[in-house]
Amino acid sequence: MTAYYGELCTKMYESDKSMAEGPELSFYLSYVKGRKVKVLEPMCGNGRMLIPLMQHGVDTDGFDISEDMLKVCKEKAVKLNLKPDIFQAKIEEFNSSKKYDLIMIPYGSFSLLPDSLVNKSLQNLKNALNEGGKMLLTIVEKDNKIEEVSEWTETNRKELDGQTIIEYRKIAYDDETKILHIQLKYDAVGEGIVERTELMDFPIRLYNPGEFNRVLKDSGFRQITVHEVRDGYGDGQSFPVYECMK
């Protein structure tokens, strides 16, 4: 069974990455705190950024492709008496009658899009921005430390909801397409028996430094600035956030 952020993957993700905090959250809050702005978070997943923003009084909508991720997001929101406007959608098909002052995609979710969907997705987001609105978009840049893994290798193990969930992965890089192909396998184990397995393809488009700047310019965005934000998914990790205007 292949699922995109299915139930087991979502449980594992939520156990590690439930809520944004620290320098990453502070960075995004610096664009909205104390201002009356309407924010959209495409690819919002389990609400790790959306919910903390709402807790700080920021009017935030979100959407994601994964039904399981959105379910977790809604459950967390209910416990905190929050009522986010979140819905299921693909970014390359997104069409909004609403207009937003700020659109943000934290961490590297946008790099899940292959080149064939990038321009259409950027145009959809641009169309949803108010004139003079900003976008904060994070991509994954290529470094020289790619280690390919040809056999299933255990990368995480958690005791969740009375069962053991084990994550395995394989990694291969295609230099022609610049895509890092990550295959993920999640086994739910109870009393030593694998009760359920989820498989997921997780292709990440790796950009060379400066390459994404040109992509944004070609899509009509302007005033492009790149910020380096540290400690996003964990201490010591950093990633580039592209700030641009419609």
- Average pLDDT over the chain reads 91
Least confident segment among 80-84, 168-172, 228-232: 228-232
Residue-level pLDDT at 150: 94
Higher per-residue pLDDT: 122 or 34: 122
Predicted structure pTM score: 0.90
Residue-level pLDDT at 145: 79
Residue-level pLDDT at 9: 86
Residue-level pLDDT at 111: 94
Q: Tens of pLDDT along 57-69?
A: 999 999 999 999 9
DSSP letter for each residue of 85-117: EEEE--GGG---SS-EEEEEE-TTGGGGS-HHH
Residue-level pLDDT at 1: 45
pLDDT band at 122 (very low <50, low <70, confident <90, very high): very high
Q: Tens of pLDDT along 65-121?
A: 999 999 999 999 999 999 999 999 999 999 999 999 999 999 888 999 999 999 999
Look at residue 236 and tell me whether its pLDDT is greater than 80. Answer: no
Residue-level pLDDT at 87: 95
Closest residue by Cα to residue 199 from 189, 185, 187, 188:
185
pLDDT band at 233 (very low <50, low <70, confident <90, very high): low
DSSP letter for each residue of 127-194: HTEEEEEEEEEE-EEP-S----EEEEEEEEEEEETTEEEEEEEEEEEETTTTEEEEEEEEEEEETTEE
Q: Distance between the two ends of the chain, CA-based, in angstroms?
A: 41
pLDDT band at 2 (very low <50, low <70, confident <90, very high): low
Mean pLDDT score, 222-232: 86
